[in-house]
Amino acid sequence: MASLESSDTRGSMEIPEVLESLPPLARLRMWDEEHLRAALRFANAAGALATTRKGAIPALATAEEIHILMQKEAVR
- The total number of structural domains in the chain stands at 1
Say if pTM beats, i.e. exceeds, 0.75.
no
Q: Domain for residue 4, yes or no? A: no
Domain with 19, as residue range(s), is 9-72
Question: What is the chain written as a DSSP string?
Answer: ------S-GGGPPPHHHHHHHSPPHHHHTTS-HHHHHHHHHHHHHHHHHHTTSSSSGGGPPPHHHHHHHHHHS---
Q: Domain for residue 2, yes or no? A: no
Q: Domain for residue 3, yes or no? A: no
Tell me, what's the pLDDT at 68?
92
pLDDT at 66 over 80: yes
Q: Domain for residue 46, yes or no? A: yes
Q: Domain for residue 42, yes or no? A: yes
Mean pLDDT of 23-45: 80
Choice among 19-23, 38-42, 43-47 with the minimum mean pLDDT: 19-23
